[in-house]
Amino acid sequence: VTTILTANPAVDRTTPYPDRLKPILSRAAGAHAAAEIASWPGYAPTPLVDQPELANEAGVARVVVKDESGRFGLGSFKALGGAYALGRILAAEVSAAIGGPAPSMAALADGVGAAVTGNITATCATDGNHGRSVAWGAAKFGCKAVIYVHGTVSQGRRDAIARFGASIEVVPGTYDDAVRACAADAARLGRRVVSDTSWDGYRDVPRDVMQGYGVMVAEALDLWDGPPPTHVFVPGGVGGVAASVVAECWERFGPARPVVVVVEPTAADCLRRSAEAGLLTAVGGDLDTIMAGLACGEPSPLAWEILSPGADAFLAIDDDQVAAMMRRLAGGRPPIVSGESGAAAPAGLAAVARFPSSRRAIRLDRMARVLCVSTEGATDPEVYARIVGVTPAS
């Protein structure tokens, strides 16, 4: 097994959350996102689950898992981001077309502006969960959706997207290739791109996506009982959800914020390599990993603006470590259904906890209180059953 821990040499742990980062992510914009999202049918904060045995094994005081498996019936925190950003786009389009203030998302869902939204096609690339969020949002808010997947996105994940009435485009290559194909077609065909990653000149939508994720982080810190977490482990794909963790923690707690560790697959550790190099660094190749949601070779520059000064460490782990943690959580007390990308965070903790030198590097001691974000449940039940040996239902 390979475990590579890189302490972030650029981290700033002395100043409060900088004003220059607030136009990207802020608690004020997060309150707006929370109010909109709370109006969607079926909204409920996802639970925090104490895992005393994991804490014991890791030699820390407490391990708490934020369990996103039940999020809006979509199975991952991604339900919050893409659908929220799409709602913002549609509300602005309706306001521009018929005048007056932007309608609320509850009003959009009730059919306000349907004549406008019905002519709009939303589009994005996905390795499964983001596309499911955008397709679900499109169904809810009354627009069309075309979702791009690359060849290794599982059939179960494609079907879950198509179930919301979206059409699926399959493109060769990786997630990063699908991002480019989607944007090129959208420019030609007049579709609205709802991407979870950013690029030059394309920042507002991925900013809203990340602000939607921030609702999950705020829930976790609001629901937390007792002294706040000293450490947060979160998975990294393009870096969006990790940036939302850093921003919320930094603005809430300032320099006393928890240590944030971003966990990636060794085959796609673009964020860790960026920290090591001190500049945005891409990973090439086929990015082969079971952690489908983390199989991203190119960081989001917008997320990196927050992660570069704000994340404490980046950790690359192997598929075997994640598979073992999925089984461990399935048999845990209480059991948690954690998918291939979701289990990366607790697997990262277990990997670091074994080595005194890596413990020291992130100041992990017996008093540590660790929040691990399990970002998904069994988003492909067949894949889950193959890895864990039992079905998610059982």
Ligand X SMILES: Cc1ncc(COP(=O)(O)O)c(C=O)c1O
Task: Name the site residues for ligand X (rule: CB under 6 A).
Answer: 76, 78, 127, 129-130, 196, 235-242, 293-294, 296, 341-342, 375-376
137 vs 142 by CB, closer to ligand X: 137
79 vs 120 by CB, closer to ligand X: 79
- AA identity, residue 320: D
Q: Please report how close the Cβ of residue 27 comes to ligand X at its closest, in angstroms.
A: 19
Q: Are 368 and 61 in contact (CB under 8 A)?
A: yes
CA-CA distances (angstroms) from residue 365 to 149, 175, 347, 359, 368? 42, 37, 17, 7, 5
Contacts of 147 (CB under 8 A, 6+ apart): 123, 124, 125, 126, 131, 134, 135, 161, 166, 167, 168, 169
259 vs 291 by CB, closer to ligand X: 291
Q: Please report how close the Cβ of residue 386 comes to ligand X at its closest, in angstroms.
A: 17
Contacts of 89 (CB under 8 A, 6+ apart): 120, 122, 192, 194, 205
Q: Please report how close the Cβ of residue 379 comes to ligand X at its closest, in angstroms.
A: 7
Report the DSSP pairing between strands 192-193 and 62-67: unpaired
What CA dihedral angle connects 208, 209, 214 and 216, to 10 degrees? 140
| Burial status of residue 19 (CB atoms within 10 A of its CB: 0-12, 13-18, 19 or more) | exposed
Q: Please report how close the Cβ of residue 278 comes to ligand X at its closest, in angstroms.
A: 20
The residue from 66, 78, 140, 144 that is catalytic is: 78
CA distance linking residue 49 with residue 63, whole number of Å = 8
Q: Please report how close the Cβ of residue 380 comes to ligand X at its closest, in angstroms.
A: 11
78 in catalytic set? yes
CA distance linking residue 394 with residue 390, whole number of Å = 7
The residue from 67, 127, 208, 319 that is catalytic is: 127
93 vs 340 by CB, closer to ligand X: 340
150 vs 359 by CB, closer to ligand X: 150
CA distance linking residue 245 with residue 11, whole number of Å = 15
Q: Please report how close the Cβ of residue 111 comes to ligand X at its closest, in angstroms.
A: 30
Closest alpha carbon to 67 in 216, 183, 188: 216
What are the structure tokens assigned to 344, written together?
């990366």
What are the structure tokens assigned to 197, written together?
């990653």
- AA identity, residue 197: T
Q: Please report how close the Cβ of residue 77 comes to ligand X at its closest, in angstroms.
A: 7
CA distance linking residue 41 with residue 54, whole number of Å = 34
94 vs 294 by CB, closer to ligand X: 294
The Cβ of residue 102 has, within 10 Å, a number of other Cβ atoms equal to 17
- AA identity, residue 179: V
26 vs 244 by CB, closer to ligand X: 244
What are the structure tokens assigned to 143, written together?
């627009």
Catalytic residues: 78, 127
